[in-house]
Structure 1
Amino acid sequence: MRRDRWLLPAGVEEILPPAARHAEQVRRRLLDLLDSWGYDLVMPPLVEYLESLLTGVGHELDLKTFKLTDQLTGRLMGLRADMTPQAARIDAHYLRRDTPVRLCYLGPVVRTRPDEFGGAREPWQIGAELFGQSGPRADAEVLRLMLALLECAGFSSLHVDIGHVGVYRALAREARMEEAVEQELHEALRRRSRAEVDAILADLALPARSDRHLRTLIDLHGAEAEFMALEAILADAGPEVQVALTDLKAMWRVVDQAQPGIRWHFDLAELSGYGYHTGVVFSAFVEGYGQAIAQGGRYDEIGRAFGRSRPAVGFSADLRLLLKLRDEPAQAPPAILAPCCDDKALREAVRALRARGERVIEVLREGAEQDQGTGCDRELVQQDGRWTVVARR
């Protein structure tokens, strides 16, 4: 007979009191922030038919998705691993507005593997998506909102990486690369493997200008001044590249003016999410943690599979991770202890206190010690025929 029935799968954990109460307080605060920016809350289902769940998102998300068979229809279903495609489906298929749509969400997603060693397989994904609006100002709004959310969650001294996958896409088109080679070079750039990049380009024997642009793309990163100097390498690139660089800098200027103090790092070889991102990409980091704590970007093509391609930009983060990194001590909230007494006036007093937002814990049996760990710093006592709240001794 197994004695480890209490064990949870690796990467799956539960939150106990009082930490769960603290998590809920942060959740409400962040949703209120998103609402204050005009982003409407949606609650997509945890499980969907697989073809809807994975439409337009690439192979990487497919590998992260748990699959199961629907007992009613026999069709293959999946547990969502990312809520962004669900938000795109809602905008394209259900709302169908011609004006910009702002949506936000917060809920669990389930993944076959964690994103990092020891990471969670059931993140609480919080995010926001802006549909139907293109251009640097729309990108800047979403990035500003991401930074405001992280600040609301208690993070300061942020380091933000920004890039534009459109630069690499345009250079690959100029070089007339085959899709398989484009993907291979993309992976080499992501790994920062100069040897692989040089080997791939040597085999292609591209025109000198295309070879130079792609070979030096791995070096096009740095702080503002450094990046602006290196950018001259692409001065003779085609118009698509110039538009992408102009949009990237325009977005950065808007956000930098609105939220000074951010440490910026430009990086044109940052191609995370290349499978569906089409424009700017951005990630936020904090000292002492090597992975991004929030990330986002533009993904204009994702709605096409749902019958309505619209401009789209968004971001997401894992609320569980944010809470873990903040590591704030969670304490039981102050409460009032009510005695075990069948008295109408006592019941009315308890009801009135709870209506005012007080936490009241009733003793269920005379003489029982039931207040341990409850945080009761006050109690209801009868004085001069009235029930009164007094400090506990």
Structure 2
Amino acid sequence: MTSVDRWQLPDGIEEVLPAQAATVEQLRRRLLDMFRSWGYELVIPPLVEFTDSLLSGLGQDLDLLTFKLTDQLSGRSMGVRADITPQVARIDAHSLAPQGVSRLCYAGSTLHTRPKSLMASRSPIQLGAELYGDDSLAADVEVIRLMLATLDEAGLQPSCTLDLGHVGIYEAVLASADLNAEQEAVIFDCLQRKSVPDLMQALDEVPEDIATLIIGLVDLHGDDEVLAAARELFADRAPEALAAVDELQDVATDIRRQRPDLPVYFDLAELRGYHYHTGIVFAAYVPGHGQALANGGRYNGVGEVFGRSRPATGFATDLKALMGLLPAGDAGQGAISMPDVDDTELLARVEELRQAGEIVINNLGGEHDSRCDRELVESGGNWEVQDL
């Protein structure tokens, strides 16, 4: 191994240096404080867990993203968390086991075996909030509003678009099509890629009216007119989907009461997280950032594997991604240089300044730290702060 190789990090794994780390930490503190003001309690799940619980209920995608290792004490398989959501579901269902509604939030590092998208980090700092014990649309609306408030607090919301979907629509369409498992898998892949030619080929042996219904999902994205088109398309062929369309309309209406200027985009073929989501799904996008900046949805029943099947809805974002979209900050508040002398009055003055929020740096070796724009100077028996 060469000296160059020794300091290289794996692809998609980044270190966060002082200026950026300060931004991330300040943002984390502000957001967790905001979550607290909404009634969400902080939990800190462990970095690793047994895969039996870590990968329960959230589908194959999470399994493929998870680094696995063997516990040297028990011999059981463990995983380094790729998503904190199932850990919080376990805490709600098993460790806390509350009656009624519970609200939990978290922030912590995760690790992915591969990036979720071309430019994504493999070591995101995931921050999110989960609401358990309420199956109403009001709970979904609360979490969406909290997601939007998160972008507000980060200074990004004015430019964002809210994307809404509902997995119940796809489920109702599939139920009407009576496809086998192999056909469903191929069609699911084509819809995820929104590839009409591939979809038409996959539906070659499917009755024409059913094929038309499934292909029609691809074009059901846009503004409120999409919902009207969906009602017309589903009325006779997949009436079970109409309830999901109505729920999307109701959620959009509730969000717009508080945010009338927020662009709302409907995508009825949105299948992100389909294997574990059970209802409304949502995401926030900002111009110039191709991937969702924050996303979430309803995922009822995940706690069942821990002994309590609970209604659940929540969202998550990546603090690193948020940081990357923030405008460059200033150089900071500056700092005060203190002489490296043993003086009781000096130390008392330094403590006073630090308690007031100032950065005071010991002047080791007689050289000022580059961050210092002021210094402590003795004058008439007092230690005073003077500009450098």
Q: TM-score range by the shorter chain?
A: over 0.9
TM superposition shift of 1:205: 2.8
SS of residue paired to 1:323 = helix
Pairing of 1:1-393 with structure 2 (within 5 A): 2-4=2-4, 5-155=6-156, 156-205=158-207, 208=209, 210-238=210-238, 240-329=240-329, 331-365=331-365, 368-372=366-370, 374=371, 376-392=372-388
8 Å CA contact retained: 1:157, 1:261: no
Measured in 2, the distance between the counterparts of 1:380 and 1:301 equals: 61
- What's the C-alpha RMSD, in Å, of the aligned pairs? 1.7
- Report the TM-score when normalising by structure 2: 0.95
Measured in 2, the distance between the counterparts of 1:66 and 1:124 equals: 16
Measured in 1, the distance between the counterparts of 2:66 and 2:144 equals: 27
SS of residue paired to 1:81 = coil
Measured in 1, the distance between the counterparts of 2:29 and 2:330 equals: 16
SS of residue paired to 1:203 = coil
SS of residue paired to 2:74 = coil
Measured in 1, the distance between the counterparts of 2:178 and 2:132 equals: 31
Measured in 2, the distance between the counterparts of 1:217 and 1:119 equals: 28
Q: AA paired with 1:186? A: F
Identity of aligned residues (%): 47
Measured in 2, the distance between the counterparts of 1:370 and 1:35 equals: 40
Please list the CA deviations of residues 8-35 of structure 1 after superposition, one character each: whole Å capped at 9, or x if unmatched. Answer: 1111111112221222111111111111
| Unaligned stretches of 5+ residues in structure 1 | none
Please list the CA deviations of residues 21-71 of structure 1 after superposition, one character each: whole Å capped at 9, or x if unmatched. Answer: 222111111111111111111111110111111001111111110011111
TM superposition shift of 1:118: 3.4
TM superposition shift of 1:239: 5.1
Name whichever of 140-149 and 329-338 sits farther off.
329-338
| Unaligned stretches of 5+ residues in structure 2 | none
TM superposition shift of 1:230: 4.4
TM superposition shift of 1:249: 1.1
8 Å CA contact retained: 1:135, 1:247: no
8 Å CA contact retained: 1:102, 1:130: yes
- Report the TM-score when normalising by structure 1: 0.94
TM superposition shift of 1:327: 4.4
Measured in 2, the distance between the counterparts of 1:98 and 1:198 equals: 49
Measured in 1, the distance between the counterparts of 2:227 and 2:250 equals: 14
Paired positions, count: 386
Measured in 2, the distance between the counterparts of 1:313 and 1:182 equals: 26
Q: AA paired with 1:379? A: E
8 Å CA contact retained: 2:297, 2:313: yes
